[in-house]
Amino acid sequence: MSGLDTRDIGHRIVVRHRIPGGLTDVIGVLQAWTPELVTVRHADSAIHEIPAADVTAAKTIPEMPLRPVDVDQLFLTTALGRPAVETAYVGHWLLRASSGWTGRGNSLLPAGDPGMPVADALQQAIAFYDQHGLPPQALVRVGSPYDEEIRACGWVDARPEQSDVLVLHTTLDHVNGSPEYDVQLADAPNDAWYGTAFDGPVPDVAPKVLEGAPKTAFASIVLDDAVVAVGRGSMTGHWLGVDAIRVADGYRRRGLGTAILQGLARWAGPHGGRRTYLEVLVENTAAMATYTRLGYREAYRYRYLTSR
């Protein structure tokens, strides 16, 4: 007996089963079920195939509660997961430049101690961005001490018309289900991946940014002989960062984005992944609903400030 059926696929379960010399328990996500075999995927992506005849008890269990997140660590982790083309430091503050493509790749990250008064550090940041022909920008956590200090130096919202960006986090346990579609994973993206990820021409600097992290995976789903959904995953320590999720017109609201995320989560487990983060605009209500349903919760939110 297993006490499970196909309706439980994708949910966390505990299975008690016989082994030589006694009984043992396995906790994970139910990946597949037949009357003869129960297949469980552990949080580290190890697969346990348990003959149903050996199962003495099995049931679904609640999702693992989220542990408190170290916001300071995650703030820096997000930068390492998508490194800029050119970087410099003012103390521990990170200056980033990527030919103007994306705010994250072209902004100051005030993490840690700049080693000098904030006003002096900001002057060095302005000089750095002047040298690169870019407007000075700082990515600041909303409500943080540096948010207040940088504003006190005269910096203002760089994008007043745009909502805050949320950084959401969860554990791989929450997104470790089996995708409903075949998710293909590659170490590097091809032209078809880029063709789906971008509406028009790919910015020259984009491959340097997207392919610049030490450990990345590029996910895609092919339907009707075309790449219709893509996403990118990067590993920094035990964190899986997910970005660049995009679904082609005509294929949305079919669970393709969720499948991409799940495929990347399955890739991350064997690489030491335990937790995952992603970023989304507050105003993107459709994406927010999907990510919340998958167990993502807010870690912090940020905005861009500028001196001009």
Residues contacting 308, CB < 8 A, separation 6+: 135, 136
| pLDDT of 6 strictly over 80 | no
pLDDT at 46: 81
pLDDT tens digits, 74-100: 999 999 999 999 999 999 999 999 999
Q: What angle do CA 98, 99, 101 make, to 5 degrees?
A: 75
| pLDDT of 260 strictly over 80 | yes
pLDDT band at 2 (very low <50, low <70, confident <90, very high): low
- Measure the CA–CA gap between 257 and 16, rounded to whole angstroms: 33
Q: Which of residues 266 and 182 earns the better pLDDT score?
A: 182
| pLDDT of 31 strictly over 80 | no
Torsion angle, alpha carbons of 280, 126, 82, 243, to 10: 20
Q: Cβ(81)–Cβ(239) under 8 Å?
A: yes
**What is the average per-residue pLDDT within 17-30?**
90
pLDDT at 1: 54
- Give bridge partners of residue 239 from the DSSP assignment: 236, 275
**What is the average per-residue pLDDT within 159-181?**
89
